[in-house]
Structure formats: structure tokens, C-alpha cells
Amino acid sequence: MTRAMERKIHVAGCLADISDPEEFRDSVREASGGRAEVYDATAVLGAAHIQVAWEHARRAFDDGRNQCDSLEMETRLYASGERQIKGALQRTGVKAGKVPVALVSENGDLLANVMQKLGLIRDDSLLEATEGKLLKFGIARREIEAIGRDACDLVFERMALQEVERG
């Protein structure tokens, strides 16, 4: 078994009260020792979405096709479905308000510690794919109606196409 196959990414949903998105992101990074990322959960179609994006990003790094300097940003690029970092950050970055967030790390225990330090309660239902989330990714309502819950696969296909386009 190769090292890449042994590694895994963990994702936890939480509701956060964020007054300053940059400060919140910094708090997550500080509480995790820089080993956790935070996403806007309205841009996450379940834990599998981030896991698939992370696998694509790992392959991009392994094959020298990465566009970003860090695995974290490369993962965000794939997860967002965007080609540019700015667009990826706009789509997946946390917003101000009482909002759902997704905490992401290679260490599941670390996520529990971060949630405890920041007073967050885990609620993975916030990560579930919804019609509204799919529409944000440009999936047409008729496609969602025709495919149903498997419409997330269309976003996964887009991630795979990103990988192919990089050649």
C-alpha cells in the first residue's frame, strides 16, 4: 500500500457565528496549528465532495500538474470548480454571519479539538448536498430533477475534467 493511499481527509460541519471571516479563518488555523482549513459549507456537497477534491489535488502534486503551492489551496481549487484561485476563494471562503462551515483536515481528532477550542458543535447535516448548492455550481434544475441525489456526480465529473484539462 502506498503512502498516498494511507492518507485520508476528514470533514466536519458546524454552525459558526462569524463577525470577521479573516479573523475566524485565522482562529481555525491557530487552533489547529495550521493543519485545518475552513470552507463555506454552502459550497460543500457533502464530505465526499472535499475528499474527491483532495484526491485530485494529491494526484496533481504527485504528477507535477499542480497550479498552487499548497495541497490545501489545490484542494480548494478542485472543490470550487473554479480555474482561478480568486474564484475558488470567493466560492468556498467563509462569510460573515451565523453561517454553516466545513472544517477540513487530514487529522479527524484535530478537528474535534478545533471545534472544542472554538466552541463549535458538529453538525454534518450542514454539509449535505441540496438543490440550492447544486444550482450554485451551475447544475441546471432539469438535470437535478432528472438525476436526483446523484446530481453531485456532475460536480465530481467537473473536477475530473479539470484534471484532464491540465493534462
Domains contained in the chain, number: 1
135 near 154, Cβ under 8 Å? no
Q: Percent of the chain beyond pLDDT 90? A: 69
Task: Find where cell 458546524 sits.
Answer: 14
The residue-averaged pLDDT of 109-120 equals: 97
pLDDT of residue 2: 43
Residue 85 has pLDDT above 90, yes or no: yes
pLDDT band at residue 4 using 50, 70 and 90 as cut-offs: very low
Residue 33, all three cell numbers:
496549528
Q: Please tell me the total number of residues recorded for the chain in this structure.
A: 167
The mean pLDDT of 123-130, rounded to a whole number, is: 94
Taking the whole predicted model, whether its pTM rises above 0.85 is answered as: yes
What pLDDT shows up at residue 160?
76
**Euclidean distance between CA atoms 118 and 90, whole angstroms:** 23
Name 114's Cβ contacts closer than 8 Å, sequence gap at least 6: 28, 31, 32, 36, 103, 105, 120
Range of the domain at 13: 3-166
Q: What is the CATH number of the domain that holds 47?
A: 3.30.2380.10
